[in-house]
Structure 1
Amino acid sequence: MSEPSSAAIGLPRISKKETRRATKIAFFAWMIAVYDFILFGTLLPRISGTYGWDTSFALLVSTLVSVGTFVVVIFVGPLVDRFGRRKGMIITVTGTAVSSAATAATVGAASLVGVRSISGLGLSEQSINATYLNELYSLTEDEKIRKNRGFVYSMVQTGWPIGATVAAGFVALVTAIWGPDSWRIAFVLATIPALSVALICRRLRESPQFLAQRHLAELRKEGKTAEASRFAQTSGLSEQTHAAPLKRIFQGKHLRNTIVLSLAWMVNWFGIQTFSVLGTTVLETGKGIDASNALLLIVVSNLVGALGYLVFGWAGDRFGRKKVIVFGWIAAGCMFGAMLLGPSNEIFVMVTYMLGLFFLLGPYAAILFLQAECFDTDCRATGSTFIGAMSQPGAIIGGFILTGLVAAAVPFATAAFWVGAVGTVVSGLVMLGTRSVSTTGTFAAEEELVSTAPVRADV
């Protein structure tokens, strides 16, 4: 793979074949990462049974896992901005395999918290693939993808509900074959697809933007200031790249969206932690649904959640990503509130839970693309991953509040309402403070250069 040369005009275009192959690989990478992440939440009641934990202690363990996950996620973005999107994809999916295998070998709460923290690599995969695909889509020769990038990316994001559905179905299958205490077998088997996808990720090629950014940094390091400036202009890159990426996202045009989006993610994960990660606990403990029916509800509801990604990806392209995110999260909180405060009739619970996940998960197809559009190339992965990492403080804070309320003898359904349903509504209101972005700035510069860029096979 050759480096961009200072004589090159613009950035090389990405062929239709390369664009679509990268999209497919990103989908499977994200689905497998979610599969491992949700597998833990789905099996938490079984793990608790093995170790004799009550609901309060199990929630504490889940919260401590979120602390470790946050520590891992926060460092991924700067590494990807330094070493590349391709390597980031490989490392995150490999981390998923390691997380699954290590979980099967745990012997108690301390070891479980330690090894599940590795799942932070898998969780950060969504921000990495959003960054990577954003850059590819802005330079692709496939006009349909360029004009409908939010909708196309929403297909990748359906990996969350599909991964969650596969995890729930897999748990049901493993439990039926080996019994309710077979959670270790489930995690061992989960390493196989993760390792397979990690190997497939090696077929990905680095994004032209990252290669150009790296070349720009080398020119500056060599003291070739004038040449670096010319190269930045012809490549559509920002010339203000002297600060470290983590510092850059808190400066100038990036500051407002970094703060607002981080806060929105944090509060929204009160709802994700409650209704998606701990979905089986909410249904079994909060609504009195038996274990087998709870798993069925998880499967059906996540299929509806997958449809939500497609709808919100499409709507974000046409009505604005910010607007659809605000609407979706407020609607999700209302649906979950109705489920928790309403009757325990299984039909009613299923309908409200399905609609809740539809409106809760769907907007992530829009927000991940929006936040990648907020940052310049040199800090794009750092910004997107940092914001995504704020999900874990949200899970931690929400988990502690939920644990505290349950420990104080508050009914689980009531606790889940105040933490999950109300938190989801608040996250939608926070999004109102986001500065709307469109295909302007860096992305506009990249796209404008496509028509003059030479077609290069080494991209």
Structure 2
Amino acid sequence: MSEMALPIDEAAEGVQRRRFPHFTRKQTNTAMILALLAWTVAVFDYGLFGTLLPAMQADFGWTSSTAYLVNTLIAIGTAIVAFGVGPVIDRLGRRRGMMVTIGGTAVASVLTALIPAKLGAVSSGAMVAVRSLGGLGFSEQSVNATYLNEVFAITDDERKRERRGFWYGIVQGGWPLGFLISSALALVLLDRLGWRSMYLIATLPALALILVIGKKLKETPQFELHEKLTRLKKEGKVGEAERLAAAYGVEHTESAPIARIFQPGLRRNTVVLSLAWIVNFFGINIFSVLGSSVLANAKGVELSTAFWMLIVINLGAYFGYIFHGWLGDRIGRKRTIVIGWMISGLAFAAMLSPLVNTAPLIVATYAIGLFFLVGPYAAIMFYMGECYPTDCRGTGTVIIGAMSQPGTILGGFLFTAAAAAWGTGPAAMWVGAVGTFLSGLVMLFAKAVPQLEH
């Protein structure tokens, strides 16, 4: 496909204010649908490991502590991969970046299905290496946030431009949808086909989506301008590039994107948001990724029953994204995140208490906790995109999003040690529930930012 051409007169001597070409309503809807599908497919693969971990644990002969350790080591590899994605997105573009991240998901799924289970440490090491490629798929949400921030700023659809947080919440809801699909397919197919076939199934929608994105998705004019400005400066036409940037009212610098996000004016939110992601992923890793293990080992729920519970719980969590996206448009994204994560920590603490000992109570408290744990990501992902200008927006959102992996690593080691000493329930309480509550407190130190206008 041909990318959207910018109406730029590079020979113009005067600086006259210009506007970016708009995305039509149809183009905006196409962008939203493909972004939702891309994130759902990426999470489907990412979530399969946590969903299938009890079955894989039996096949590989891992103890519970060993399985948690493998999950933590995978997070280290995922972090290494994810940290490299941001600068790539600010060079390749949003559209091609989405194709790269989904492509990584497909490769990870195929290779996971091929890992032999009877080679001891070799098998475990291969699992860590292959699943680390999931860092590409996990970074897809940051590509979405970057892309849709720019699309919603220039769309002809006034509803989406004015309520961009709400509409982005629908897309970001691909997280619980991905986990819901992985739980549902595990319930139906795991006993019949085995866990390896589940990963092969996950490959098919990823491959199909790459082809569709390549044909249907348009690059944003903001990135096209950024690309043109970079090219002009490389050709020595610095004055021309500066006039062009001024005409569109954008900031453009030759500083490396990673250095940019730590410059004055941007540094505070980079640090605060990174810390918030690290601590919050104590809870995400335990209650979202390892949900079946927590239900089985902390509450004594049978694995098949846990799959049913997680289907219901994740279905409710999807509406958490829509709610928090809507709420962020009205009371502010920062306030929405703080309130949501603090409520979540309290709900998970209640779920893990001895007082909650029946299936309806477990489902209710777990669903409330997950609703307020993952839902605020509809607000925080869009908030992150609003923190940075075009030339470092992809880097900023991806680097902060990649901080989830140090959170998974640190939280994983804490959870593994606590589970070995006290059991899964107390470990989930003190690492997961408390960590989730503390992440809300950390967000109090973030700086409010204006809505993105270009």
Provide TM-score, normalisation by structure 2: 0.95
Q: What is the match of residue 416 of structure 1?
A: 428
Q: What is the match of residue 230 of structure 2?
A: 217
For the residue of structure 2 that corresponds to 1:238, the secondary structure is: coil
Residue 149 of structure 1, aligned match among 148, 157, 164: 164
1:95 CA drift (Å): 0.9
Structure 1 residue identity aligned to 2:19: G
Q: What is the match of residue 378 of structure 1?
A: 391
Q: What is the match of residue 11 of structure 1?
A: 20
Q: Distance in 1 between matches of 2:360 and 2:22?
A: 51
For 1:304-343, list aligned pairs within 5 A: 304-341=316-353, 342-343=355-356
Please say if residues 83 and 398 of structure 2, whose CA atoms lie closer than 8 Å, have aligned partners that are also in contact.
yes
For the residue of structure 2 that corresponds to 1:343, the secondary structure is: coil
Are residues 1:23 and 2:36 paired? no
Please say if residues 257 and 374 of structure 1, whose CA atoms lie closer than 8 Å, have aligned partners that are also in contact.
yes
Identity of aligned residues (%): 48
Q: Distance in 2 between matches of 1:343 and 1:324?
A: 27
Q: What is the match of residue 449 of structure 1?
A: none
1:4 CA drift (Å): 5.4
Q: What is the match of residue 207 of structure 2?
A: 195
Q: What is the match of residue 452 of structure 1?
A: none
Please say if residues 78 and 405 of structure 2, whose CA atoms lie closer than 8 Å, have aligned partners that are also in contact.
yes
Are residues 1:296 and 2:312 paired? no
Q: Distance in 1 between matches of 2:420 and 2:302?
A: 22
Q: Distance in 1 between matches of 2:203 and 2:233?
A: 43
Residue 182 of structure 2, aligned match among 167, 178, 181: 167
Q: Distance in 1 between matches of 2:420 and 2:320?
A: 34
Q: Distance in 2 between matches of 1:4 and 1:361?
A: 40
1:223 CA drift (Å): 2.1
Q: Distance in 1 between matches of 2:70 and 2:261?
A: 32
Are residues 1:57 and 2:69 paired? no
Unaligned 5+ residue runs, structure 2? 117-122
Structure 2 residue identity aligned to 1:34: V
Residue 351 of structure 1, aligned match among 347, 359, 364: 364
Q: What is the match of residue 119 of structure 2?
A: none
For the residue of structure 2 that corresponds to 1:253, the secondary structure is: coil
Q: Distance in 1 between matches of 2:269 and 2:111?
A: 37
Q: Deviations over 1:247-285 (max 9, x none)?
A: 100111110000000000000000000000000000000
Task: Return closer, same or farther for 1:4/1:221 CA change in 2, 3 Å cut-off.
Answer: farther
Structure 2 residue identity aligned to 1:99: A
Please say if residues 288 and 344 of structure 1, whose CA atoms lie closer than 8 Å, have aligned partners that are also in contact.
no
For the residue of structure 1 that corresponds to 2:266, the secondary structure is: helix
Are residues 1:268 and 2:302 paired? no
Please say if residues 4 and 215 of structure 1, whose CA atoms lie closer than 8 Å, have aligned partners that are also in contact.
no
Q: Distance in 2 between matches of 1:201 and 1:34?
A: 17
Q: Distance in 2 between matches of 1:169 and 1:88?
A: 29
Q: Distance in 2 between matches of 1:236 and 1:28?
A: 33
Q: What is the match of residue 293 of structure 2?
A: 281
Q: What is the match of residue 389 of structure 1?
A: 402
Q: Distance in 1 between matches of 2:22 and 2:419?
A: 55
Structure 1 residue identity aligned to 2:113: A
Q: What is the match of residue 120 of structure 2?
A: none
Q: What is the match of residue 247 of structure 1?
A: 259
Please say if residues 6 and 21 of structure 2, whose CA atoms lie closer than 8 Å, have aligned partners that are also in contact.
no
Q: Distance in 1 between matches of 2:107 and 2:424?
A: 33
Q: After the TM superposition, which of the residue ranges 195-204 and 87-96 deviates more from structure 2? A: 195-204
Q: Distance in 1 between matches of 2:235 and 2:191?
A: 63
Please say if residues 33 and 125 of structure 1, whose CA atoms lie closer than 8 Å, have aligned partners that are also in contact.
yes
Please say if residues 6 and 221 of structure 2, whose CA atoms lie closer than 8 Å, have aligned partners that are also in contact.
no
Provide TM-score, normalisation by structure 1: 0.94
Structure 2 residue identity aligned to 1:84: G
Q: What is the match of residue 432 of structure 1?
A: 444
Structure 2 residue identity aligned to 1:215: K
Please say if residues 4 and 211 of structure 1, whose CA atoms lie closer than 8 Å, have aligned partners that are also in contact.
no
Q: What is the match of residue 87 of structure 1?
A: 96
Q: Deviations over 1:340-374 (max 9, x none)?
A: 11332111111100000000010000000000000
For the residue of structure 1 that corresponds to 2:137, the secondary structure is: helix
1:79 CA drift (Å): 0.4
1:13 CA drift (Å): 1.1
- Root-mean-square deviation over aligned CA pairs: 1.1
1:3 CA drift (Å): 5.5
For the residue of structure 2 that corresponds to 1:252, the secondary structure is: coil
Q: Distance in 2 between matches of 1:330 and 1:214?
A: 41
1:175 CA drift (Å): 2.0
Please say if residues 419 and 426 of structure 2, whose CA atoms lie closer than 8 Å, have aligned partners that are also in contact.
no
Please say if residues 104 and 184 of structure 1, whose CA atoms lie closer than 8 Å, have aligned partners that are also in contact.
yes
Residue 84 of structure 2, aligned match among 64, 75, 78: 75
Residue 111 of structure 1, aligned match among 111, 126, 134: 126
Q: Distance in 1 between matches of 2:59 and 2:47?
A: 19
Residue 110 of structure 2, aligned match among 101, 105, 110: 101
Q: Deviations over 1:383-419 (max 9, x none)?
A: 00000000000000000011111222x1210011000
For the residue of structure 2 that corresponds to 1:205, the secondary structure is: coil
Q: Deviations over 1:126-167 (max 9, x none)?
A: 000110011011011111110011001001011111111000
For the residue of structure 1 that corresponds to 2:265, the secondary structure is: helix
| Alignment length (residue pairs) | 437
Q: Distance in 2 between matches of 1:225 and 1:343?
A: 65
Q: Distance in 2 between matches of 1:167 and 1:406?
A: 25
Q: Distance in 2 between matches of 1:46 and 1:387?
A: 32
Please say if residues 284 and 290 of structure 1, whose CA atoms lie closer than 8 Å, have aligned partners that are also in contact.
yes
1:222 CA drift (Å): 2.1
Please say if residues 308 and 358 of structure 1, whose CA atoms lie closer than 8 Å, have aligned partners that are also in contact.
yes
Please say if residues 6 and 20 of structure 2, whose CA atoms lie closer than 8 Å, have aligned partners that are also in contact.
no
Please say if residues 4 and 212 of structure 1, whose CA atoms lie closer than 8 Å, have aligned partners that are also in contact.
no
Unaligned 5+ residue runs, structure 1? 447-459
